[in-house]
Amino acid sequence: MSVSQKQVLAAVALSVGTLGVAQAQSSLNAYGLLDLSFGSFQYAGTDGSADNKSTAKVESGQMTTSFIGFKGTEDLGGGLKAMFTLESFIRMDSGASGRSNADVFWARAANVALAGGFGKVVIGRMDNFLYQQALAFNPYGGSFGFSPTIRLTYGKWGPDKGDSGWSNSIAYYTPNLSGFTAAVQVQPGESDTESTSTGFMAGYANGPFAIGFGYQSVQSAEAPKVNVPDGAEQTFALLGASYDFGAVKLFGQYGQYKDKDYPTAAENYKTKLYQLGVAVPVSADGKVLASYGSQTKELVSGDVKHEILTLGYDHFISKRTDLYAVFMRDDDDRAGFKAGNTVAFGIRHRF
């Protein structure tokens, strides 16, 4: 973290401490989540590769990406509210900011919003709708370390060409209409290498049942044109559902991702993804989590299948702190690839 970043963070924290509840109609809060784990990490890869080598490590943000945030709300009267959100990722194992050195300081969120009876309008950097749908209907949520859905959508092995968050974006959320909600999001192209990206999501939640659908077309800042005159385009569609029986909660997802000339004909493929998961409470404070995900990439050279099975146990020792243990089997059927097994134990603390 640079000196200037530390100064910004200190200034915001000082503002939170001094403003507090200075006005009954306004609020300003500091919050966050810190996640650290230790284990043996091994992923699918060629024999002897860095991915397939079993390595004992202390890792940050494997169950939930660690972050610190600041949020404020001002009541403008007549049911209208102004809001802001600033959130920064933290690598707890090293103390560095961001998920990687490529992240800007407020990479998790940096936006302002206006909300009322009409719904909510948000402008700035925020999660995109594909990510919101991906995390909503699997038992490991937004876990980049252990969730099959997230691992098979983002990062090294996922087909997503962009990021889980969009900068320079505008989103509109409808009010909750008897359990039904919908939203649209736009990230306008801001240079000659960009075109406009768009997203849409809709969902329904009532009692134990929930269902959601997300769609986006990515052509903008996180996935710029690469020597493609008519614009590189990637489309995503993801459907998810869950049902909570009390004794067990079931999850399911199905998605399709299509590339259009991005960035070469060799990568012009369609990817199919599905996930089945379950969360089983075994006590008032603990639950067993299981999720199986399968990704099939239809490449020019032939189909490639990648499967991940994750089994775990999560136990809350207080309202803000939980301990977890996870086993993950990561398998890819490409020639020369070997499966990897990960075993990790971690702790999360919220404030």
Look at residue 57 in the predicted model and tell me its pLDDT. 96
Q: Tokens representing 31?
A: 């919050």
Give yes or no for a contact between 271 and 285, defined as CB atoms under 8 angstroms apart: no
- The four Cα atoms 329, 333, 334, 336 give a dihedral, to 10 degrees, of 70
Extended strands (E) in 174-285: 180-187, 197-206, 209-218, 233-244, 249-260, 270-281
Q: What is the model's pLDDT at position 20?
A: 46
263 cis-preceded (ω within 30 degrees of 0): yes
User: pLDDT value at position 229?
Assistant: 45
pLDDT at 161: 72
Phi, psi at residue 257, to the nearest 5°? Answer: -125, 130
Contact 214, 129 (CB under 8 A): yes
pLDDT tens per residue across span 154-205: 988 888 877 899 999 999 999 999 999 999 999 987 766 667 889 999 999 9
CA distance 184 to 126: 13
Residues in the chain: 351
Q: What is the pLDDT of residue 9?
A: 55
The structure's pTM equals 0.88
Question: Locate tokens 């999001």: which residue?
Answer: 185
Query: Does residue 197 contact residue 217 with C-beta atoms inside 8 Å?
Result: yes
Q: Is the pLDDT of residue 15 over 90?
A: no
HSE-up (13 A, CA, CB side) for residue 8: 13
* Under 8 Å between Cβ of 190 and 134: no
pLDDT score, position 157:
82
Structural contact between residues 126 and 111, judged by C-beta atoms closer than 8 angstroms: yes
What is the enclosing helix (H) or strand (E) of 227?
Answer: none
DSSP 139-193: TTTT-TTT-HHHHTTSTTTS---S-SEEEEEEEEE---BTTEEEEEEEE---STT
Contact 324, 311 (CB under 8 A): no
- The pLDDT assigned to 295 comes to 95
Residue 34 contacts by C-beta under 8 Å, 6 or more apart in sequence?
A: 66, 90, 92, 348, 349, 350, 351
